[in-house]
Structure 1
Amino acid sequence: MMNVLVTGGAGYIGSHVVEELQKNGFTPIVYDNLSTGHAAAVPEEVQLVEGDIHDVAFLKHIMAQ
């Protein structure tokens, strides 16, 4: 399976993208600062990383994992 980083995956559109990725055999990883999204929108089995897209160092760290 391929991992896919979904920025904003806890928002309305992002959460639907996550669901579609799961249905198609991908492993989504949600990266969201939860400023407008909600952790409850992310399925339990999907990893949620709370971070801001502007924090480049942290984003690189997550991508390396």
Structure 2
Amino acid sequence: MKNRIKELRQEQHKTLREVAEAVDTYNQNISNWERGKSEPKLATWQKLADYFGVSFDYLVGWED
């Protein structure tokens, strides 16, 4: 399963810093999540989905 954080970030022309600030975390965390090295907590997944304007299921790759 591949999450869509990087895809959405690039489509929306957002920097790592912008996304990190929006969900109250560090740039490195966003980078690690994009590369699958770690995963955000459930509440952060939801913040990311809200930020990008997509469903949780879409963000985590469960639906198209």
Q: TM-score, normalised by structure 1?
A: 0.25
Greater RCO (CA < 8 Å, at least 6 residues apart):
2
Higher strand share: 1
The structure having more radius of gyration, on CA atoms, is: 1
Higher helix share: 2
